[in-house]
Chains A and B, each alone.
Chain A
Amino acid sequence: DIKMTQSPSSLSASVGDRVTITCQASQDSNHYLNWYQQKPGRAPKLLIYAASNLKTGVPSRFSGSGSGTHFTFTVSSLQPEDAATYYCQQYENLPYSFGQGTKLEIK
């Protein structure tokens, strides 16, 4: 099974800051990597699919990069509504697996 390790587990940043979250896969996940945003009481929302593709309708301040075992998710200019928990997830191999999440707080 592929284990996904996200870092950091939490972070606090100010509006306008550039924020980066990393995700490390225990095995090669090719480019089959998604990033989700989840707010309390809500279902996860897909932001980035296939490592670097921005889902239609998602603001362009969100971006993703990487392949293989190392992936990065970036918010270029943090907005108040970006406060949420973010998850990476590989879908290269079953069982599909998620990172443990990164809780992003706005200062």
Chain B
Amino acid sequence: EVQLLQSGGGLVRPGGSLRLSCAASGFTFKTFTMSWVRQVPGKGLEWVSTLIDSGSATYYADSVKGRFTISRDNSQNTLSLEMSYLRVEDTAVYYCVKDGHYDDSAYFGDFWGQGTVVTVSS
């Protein structure tokens, strides 16, 4: 059974830092691209960042580029998101997301973690 267990999050002041973690199990973690997606409560979904399976390529939304860093430890089956210079508008529920595979292709959003709340407020 695929499981993505998220931790981290909480309340932080503007300009502060926070680290989110996602512990994966039930699948061969090192063979899947992983991502983070966020959602402001009551609002829509926003893609944040993606890290390919090998860890050799990372992608970021313009809104977080230069402030957030996505990383993975394929030996520990964990995905992380280091968030710095946090802004009030970064307040959201953050989801860890696993790609899926079919035939010779991949698709986004196969399985989502439970979400973790990040609140940036003074």
**A→B interface (CB under 8 Å):** 32, 34, 36, 43-46, 49-50, 53, 55, 87, 89, 91, 94-101
Contacts and interface: CB of A to CB of B under 8 A. Distances in A.
Given A89-B109, A98-B45, 18 more contacts: A32-B107, A36-B109, A43-B95, A43-B112, A43-B113, A46-B111, A46-B112, A49-B107, A50-B102, A89-B108, A91-B107, A91-B109, A94-B47, A95-B61, A96-B47, A96-B50, A98-B46, A101-B45
B47 A53 contact: no
B47 A97 contact: yes
A95 B47 contact: yes
Range, interface on chain B: 20 to 34
A99 B110 CA distance: 17
Contact of B115 (A43, A87, A98, A100): A43
B44 interface: yes
Contact of B108 (A34, A45, A100): A34
A50 B45 contact: no
B102 to A, nearest CB: 7
A36 B115 CA distance: 16
13 contacts: A34-B108, A43-B113, A46-B100, A46-B112, A49-B100, A50-B105, A53-B102, A87-B44, A89-B45, A91-B107, A95-B62, A98-B44, A101-B45
B102 A44 contact: no
B114 interface: yes
Contacts of A96: 47, 50, 108
Nearest to B113: A43
